[in-house]
Structure 1
């Protein structure tokens, strides 16, 4: 204590020093206690600011952490694109959202070079050399192991390096080889509003319907009559407002709504049969879908209708050995690939019909 006596007045630690300091301030007199406390306060504040600036400076110099979903190894990126080329993966391409709001269009990967990728564009695309230098967003899916029903989804941003346009042929664009691939499941699917005429058949069954022994999910011939069905009489009361690979929004009115009052409650699981018109299939595209009622929208339209948000949680595909039966699978990347492809083709059809 003797060493500190010359630096810190002992009166600072004696009883009554707070009162003495208050009196000194009141009479505008300097006191050792006030000087020490003032120095400690401002010194601590300066130290706090200095430490904050030092921490910020170090953080700026340190490289940011690379997310686990990013692939940055050039060799690995080349391997993935080579696999996509061998398996003829379809790419979806659009101008970067920072530059344009152009819709997605389809493209085929036809070559992988050391410094770029060559894509063959959809025949509906009118390519132009003014695209050179613009950024495009691309995504594709790839089944790395052909023996497994497991898809990996990738997306990336690249720059258009060259555009080749030949009369009466598909346009070719060369894009830069990306420095990274972001590996993630699809967070959103392209939604379309199908015309009423495109919905040829629609049937809805409750999950409890298939608890009977004579009804089997893998055999559609045993499903029986649906609880809600699109017929000529019910057509005005059943409308698919939009549909995507991830789900759909269903609008019901009148008798159809009354029939589904207990069926379409939030959280309930249902099974759907859809037949949608498709230019490539004269009989239309058929879908067997397991769905969950995600949302029940409380508001009703002027006709007393109500909308229901359905999320696809599974889908049935024809059994390769017995096509009349179904093999049920979980969603791929959060959705149903066949529905996603249908929605994409329908989007292009609507897009072309508008002359855009």
Structure 2
């Protein structure tokens, strides 16, 4: 299916009334283990930003999402417009939380967003380097910054939350070897992502992992001192769900480190994440649903499509629970129970956000 057909399918779902509702509590699907749903087929429930229904997208530079399945709502971190969007999947109505600014309850560029209990959201603003807590109705609660990392207040490069536990990944910055004039042009070095657990006031009190992060290069131009990040050379991501914290390193190969989360901390698991059929190269994303299913996104080099491999765990054994082949450049923004939110980018960078549900018609 081409990109245009992708948009048509999603718009048809909206015109039909947003798709079927969530199954009733007594249905077999609702009683199943959410972390082991089959993810080979999807129903489109809602689409925002693509096709003739919108004169222009209602957002710009969406970077994260939080599903609220009980209320049939999805929240979007709308970084380009400095706000959070509250979208009602059933009615199609949009409410906007926050506004651009630097005061309490205002944003410059909201980047990451996580559930904060059943009735609140935790939002991280990259430009302000500030965490804010909002009620899901949009009322501002409080804000805080991360402290005690020893990294001088650097920006958070990753965020995940599970239950009442929060972890942030803080980038160490340019490697010192690249910051001296004697560095030969063409030199490449990686910096480090340090993963901390933080409390509700932002204090870091447990270092979980240190892993390679961005690749930086001293450009070969001998007439200037220029350093550039290689955006295609991989990075590191963190995700959590199902009692596990994942730290994934994306580069020439893929490494995923599992940490079992207990009452007193997160301990490295002795059982590595190595299911059969795992794509170890070309991986664009590693994501965990709140129930613990692991989504591995892989960009196809030939036709520009994205393949999502979904794995579920039984004890310490991982098995594939689905494979989705979707046209274009896609990322998973959130996955919870039987729902998933995708961000789709076309060749011009135009954004489409789509909410889908396990089972139903195939995309292609």
User: Do both proteins adopt the same fold according to a TM-score greater than 0.5, normalized to the shorter chain?
Assistant: no
TM-score norm. by structure 2 comes to 0.28
Question: Could you say which structure has the higher strand fraction?
Answer: 2
Q: Hey, which of these two has a bigger chunk of helix by percent?
A: 1
Bigger RCO (CA 8 Å, 6+ sep): 2
